[in-house]
Every structure is written in C-alpha cells, then in structure tokens.
Structure 1
Amino acid sequence: MSGEGLVPASDPLALVDETRLDASEARYVAVARAANTLRGYRSDWAEWCAWCAEEGYEPLPASPEAISRYLVRLAGLGAKVGTMSRRLSALRFAHRLRDLPDPTEAARVLAVWEGIRREHSAPPQQAKPLMPPELWQVLDACPTMKHWRTPHRPPEPDLAGLRDRVLLLVGFVGALRRSELAAIEVGQLSEHPEGLVLHLPRSKTNQAGEETELVVLPRASDPAHCPVTLVDQWRSQAGISSGPLLRPVTKSNKAAARPLHPESINALVQAAVARAGLDPTPYSAHSLRAGFVTYAHLQGATDRAIAHQTRHRSLASVGTYIRVDTAWDDNAATQLGI
C-alpha cells in the first residue's frame, strides 16, 4: 500500500484530513454517527484493510474490482447479507470523509451485490420474545437478598438483582432497545398520575434528536410487576438521585457511578433467563422489545397503539415482530373445514 492509500486501519474517523479540522469540527465529526455505528465501522475498516493487504489492493481509494471480489470472498465464507451491507456502508463512509467518489455505486459492484442479495438473503435471526408468563418467572428468579461469607455481616438487599428486575421490566414495558436502556438518565424521567414518562432525546430512528420521543411506564396493580415501583426502589436503595439510571453493581453491593454498557445488557438478560431455569440461547436484550410487541398483540392492542410505544415510523415494521406465536391468530387457514 502506498503513502496516499495508507490510512489507520483502526479508526475510519482518522481518514478525515485533520489539517483541515479544528477541535470543534473534529468533535462534531465524532458525534455524526452513533457510537455503535462507529464501532462497527472501525471493525469493518480494519477487516477491509487486512484483506487489501493480503490481496495487494489499495484500501483507499478502493477500486470497484477490489470491492466486488471482496464481496464474493465474504459470500463464500458464509457472511450474512446484513454484515456485508454494513461493510459497504463503512467503505462509503470512509470515501466520503476524503471527498472521494463512492466506489460502491460502480456498475460492477452493484451487479455483484444484487446477485449476492438474491442468492444469499435470508430472514434475519430474531430474538425469542420474552413475555409473560416466562417474564414473571425470570423476574421472580432475580435475587432479592445478598448473603455474605463474612461472619456476622447481616444480609442486605441485593442491588444487582433489583437492578436486573428494573432493566427487564422497564425494557419490556417501555419496548426499549438496549442502547436506549443503557442511556436512560434520571433527569429523563418525569412523574405522571398514571406512572412515569421517559423522555428519549435520541434513538436509533431519531439520531439527530429532531424531536423528543416519549415512552410511558404505567403503574401496575402488582408491585412485583410494576416498573414505577421497581424504579423507585432501585433509586432509593442504590442512592441514585441523578445521572445514569441503570448501572453496574460492585462486588461490595454498591451501584457504580457509570452507566451500563449497551453490550452488557445482552449478558444480563441471558443470565437472568438462565437463573429461571430457561435456555438463554435464543434470548437477548432485543427479546424485551420483541416481547412487548408480541404480548401487546396477543392482548388485543392495535398495530397503531403498539407503534405509539415502540415509536416505529411504519406500521409494517410492527408486523415484523409478530412471530410464530401469533401466526395462527385470525388466520383463514384454520377455517377451511378440511
């Protein structure tokens, strides 16, 4: 790779000619994409640079020949179409930051990419919905008291167990994504006669924060299943008056000052499911959002009412969450009389 094409493999943001940016400009460039997106781009760019080094291609500017052969290589290794699509997005991003033409729009790349999508596309693997009655089992299995090996130290409320109950119930009732759960700040919660209102300044579909999205957390008759009650208990016992709502809990049973990392929420959900004696494999943080949509549908909620809470822009998107569990509902195939 020659001097002009040689770029840091670890950080696509470094592709910007830093001599043209002052500190303020660089800061805005850094927040132009969501943190999760940038992490993905960095990983994808490193993979691309490594492949180019092996095959003798320049990573930047990339040639249509290199990109089409790279896609063929990925397809041959069994990469998912979604993964390859993100790799192309990373390449577009890198070229735009250098004011270079987008090589992914070349006819050669488009033709190969269309064929790959037609031959290799498959329905995305969907997380299994976590909803009642399994959700209640998982909540009940969260530890409530922490017992110590230290002699004479009395048991005390288990903060990690309480935090997990809040995470599970707020994630389910609020139909929240894991990034949204991790980003909740106490100041975003406001009281309402019927519960709590969560003000989300940004989300996956509202990254620029053009308007605040509202999520309601209604009070429930059963305190064990009430997100408002559990949030109040967690804040009181963890001593949280401001800052991140959901936090790691130390071995000494104290809430840390920092927020949970979005990627840790998957592990917490799976661990909670396993404590209830269920197979955690098909579950993830997305199971909470999927569980809300599926359970609300089973309870008779309309797609429009569901989208009001999930903040889906399209009602068709809500339909993708209606899983095998509901395929038999109101289906004419069951009325054929054969």
Structure 2
Amino acid sequence: MHPHLPSTRNLTAPPVSDPGRVVEELAAGEPLSAEEAAYVAAARAQNTMRGYASDWREFTAWCAQHDRAPLPAAASTVTAYLSDLAAAGAKVGTMSRRLSALKFVHAGRGLPDPTSNARVMTVWEGIRRTHAAPPDQARPLMPPELFDILEACPVTKTWKTKGRPPEPDLAGARDRALLLVGFVGALRRSELAGLRVRDVGAHANGLVLTLPRSKTNQTGDRPELVVLPRASRTDRCPVTALEAWLTLAGITDPDAPLFQGVTKGNRASGRPLHPESINDLVQAATARAGIDPAGYSAHSLRAGFVTYSHLRGASDRAIAHQTRHRSLSTVGTYVRVHTAWVDNAATVLGL
C-alpha cells in the first residue's frame, strides 16, 4: 500500500473560486465579495460554470448583433435566439445548456426566468421534436484493446542529453494508472480530474475512492464510494498501477491532485489534468497502440466497463452499483449495440 494513502478522509473542503470568473461576476450585477464569489462558483460543477460563462458571452454577443437586451431577456429574444441556433445546426444539447445559462444568470440577478415563459417553452418543445437526434456515444474501451493500450504505455524515459541516465517514464505510469482506474472505477472524466490523494482509502481487497461530488451528487451531501479490487495480474491491476504512479511521481500531499500533468523534465507538475486533456490522453494512448482513436474519449473507459461487465455476465444492478447509475435503463444504453449481435438470427442467414 502506498504509505501516503489515508484509510480515512476529511470530508470538509474550502469553497472553489473562479470558474468562468464566476460567470462574469454574475452577469455584471453588484460586485461579489470574495466569499460570495467562492460560493457562487461552488453552486455548480466547475465545468458547468465555465460552460455557463461561455454560453452567456455567446448570448450577449448575439443580442448586441441583433439590437436586443440580454438582461432581462424578453421571451421574444430567447425564441429568436433559439430559432437562429436551430437554423445554424446547433445540437439540442448545446441549446439546452444555453437555456440553463440564461436561467442561472437571471436567477442570480433576481430576475424572472425567461426560459419558463410559455412562448419559450412551446418553441423549445418544437425545436426538440424537430431537431433532436440520438446522442453521440463513445466507443467502449475494454479488453483486449485496453490491454494492448496498457502495454503500449512507455515504461522508460531516455534523454538526448549526454550523461543523463534513463528514468521511469512518469507520463507512461500516470497513463496506465488513469486508464485502469478509469475503467475499473467506471469514472467520468470530471471525476478523474477532480480526485485528490485524500480521496483514496485502503481496504483489505484493494482501494476505495470517495467521490465528494459527481454528476449525480453535485452538492456533495452524500459522497459516493467506488471500489478498486486488486487484480490477479499486476500489469492489469488498478491498485498496483496507482501506487506505482504515486511513488514514482513522489506525490505525498493529501490535497494534491491524484492525476497530474507531467513536465518535459519528467516531473509531476502539481496541477490537475483538465477533463478535456483526459480525452486527449485516452486518444493518444489508443493511437500509440496502433488503434484508430476515432470515437474514443475519456467516457470510453466508463462505457467499456459497463459493456465488458455485461458481456462477462454481470447483472445491470451489479453494474449500476459501481457506475452509480440511478436508472438501470441507462445501463442498457451502453450495451445495446453489442448485445444486439448476440443470438440474433440475422447473423446466421448465410448470405
């Protein structure tokens, strides 16, 4: 067991400050105190707040271009904006987030929510019925491809500088740990990016991750547990890989990010990986193994866990225990493509 991994953890943490400059200081209302800004920033996940800030900038730019007031936004302004987005081919999911940003900013300023107006709701319902499409699903990343990707992670770092001896490749060790923890833990990219050393606890059967916040627990009032059992083979074991990464990187601070960037000098940067960079990491690791990275992303690890567990005979309820899905029907969306081929008469037509 890594000597610096605690068996218990402190559930208290200071409020997070800044995402999206606290949504442009809550749409340029009265200045926020440092404490207010920190708590406003903590009202949603950091990525959500950054998205709201970006969406608000997009909306205000559109309003300036069309000589309309963004705040308070009239129902006719919102419906015209949605119509323009739909005509430009924006995805329904993108438009839904834009509406959430408008609602958030108006609520923060104590103004009526324009998105709940009957005119807006009717136009929005029509857009969804007209333009909705099945969501893009990440390709599941699972054995045997996962094993090939793990084997392709670099082990030794060599240098062009004369006299500097080879060293263990930190980025390779981190990638192996992240891939195995992400797969076995069925973690989302935001969860991987947000983990701290203090969130990892020892257990007789392996490790336990305590997720203070997640997509289904954004307030942090009921931390979720994820287990990482020891594997029979050390080269496929998330516990071994995680302990190796922490030891090689010299990460000991309980508050340190669990998965960090690696400098060109082969040192842990101390800074957490951004969720988007985890997508890049998964794609780069996939390509390194000679596998076409198209369709793979950080979510492929979670999708791979669900699909592979199902193919190995696990029940939907057992899978949901690890993925923390509240609805078993959601689990089925991950495995539908693969199970569609199982025991299907179309595969034995002999054409």
Normalising by the smaller structure, the TM-score range is over 0.9
- Matching residue of 1:284: 297
- Encode CA deviations 1:137-196: one digit per residue, 9 max, x unaligned: 111111111111112322111110110010101000000011111111111111111111
SS at match of 1:321: helix
State which of 179, 186, 207 in structure 2 corresponds to 1:168.
179
Pairwise CA distance, 1:330:
5.6
- Matching residue of 1:204: 215
Residue identity opposite 1:285 in structure 2? A
Alpha-carbon distance between aligned partners in 2 of 1:256 and 1:58, rounded to the nearest angstrom: 44
- Matching residue of 1:299: 312
Residue identity opposite 1:233 in structure 2? A
- Matching residue of 1:190: 201
SS at match of 1:244: coil
How does 1:215-234 map onto structure 2 within 5 Å?
Answer: 215-234=226-245
Alpha-carbon distance between aligned partners in 1 of 2:38 and 2:343, rounded to the nearest angstrom: 53
Alpha-carbon distance between aligned partners in 1 of 2:120 and 2:48, rounded to the nearest angstrom: 23
Alpha-carbon distance between aligned partners in 1 of 2:221 and 2:80, rounded to the nearest angstrom: 40
TM-score in terms of structure 2 length: 0.89
- Matching residue of 1:32: 43
- 4+ runs deviating over 4 angstroms: 330-336
SS at match of 1:18: coil
Alpha-carbon distance between aligned partners in 2 of 1:324 and 1:200, rounded to the nearest angstrom: 30
- Matching residue of 1:318: 331
- Encode CA deviations 1:259-311: one digit per residue, 9 max, x unaligned: 11222101111100010111112100000001000100110100110010001
CA separation of 1:145 and 1:23: change in aligned 2, threshold 3 A: closer
CA contact (8 A) 1:9 1:45 kept: no
Alpha-carbon distance between aligned partners in 1 of 2:21 and 2:312, rounded to the nearest angstrom: 50
- Matching residue of 1:18: 30
Q: How many residues align?
A: 330
State which of 278, 281, 301 in structure 2 corresponds to 1:265.
278
TM-score in terms of structure 1 length: 0.92
Alpha-carbon distance between aligned partners in 1 of 2:85 and 2:21, rounded to the nearest angstrom: 19
- Encode CA deviations 1:211-253: one digit per residue, 9 max, x unaligned: 1111000111111100011111111111112222111111111
Residue identity opposite 2:302 in structure 1? R
Alpha-carbon distance between aligned partners in 1 of 2:218 and 2:192, rounded to the nearest angstrom: 15
State which of 120, 143, 146 in structure 1 corresponds to 2:131.
120
State which of 68, 72, 82 in structure 1 corresponds to 2:83.
72
Residue identity opposite 2:30 in structure 1? E
Gaps of 5+ in 2: 1-19
- Comparing both chains, which one has the higher relative contact order based on Cα–Cα distances under 8 Å and sequence gaps of 6 or more? 2
Alpha-carbon distance between aligned partners in 2 of 1:13 and 1:118, rounded to the nearest angstrom: 35
Overall identity of the aligned pairs, in %: 66
Alpha-carbon distance between aligned partners in 1 of 2:228 and 2:21, rounded to the nearest angstrom: 43
Alpha-carbon distance between aligned partners in 2 of 1:184 and 1:196, rounded to the nearest angstrom: 14
Alpha-carbon distance between aligned partners in 1 of 2:190 and 2:120, rounded to the nearest angstrom: 33
Alpha-carbon distance between aligned partners in 2 of 1:160 and 1:27, rounded to the nearest angstrom: 33
Alpha-carbon distance between aligned partners in 2 of 1:10 and 1:310, rounded to the nearest angstrom: 30
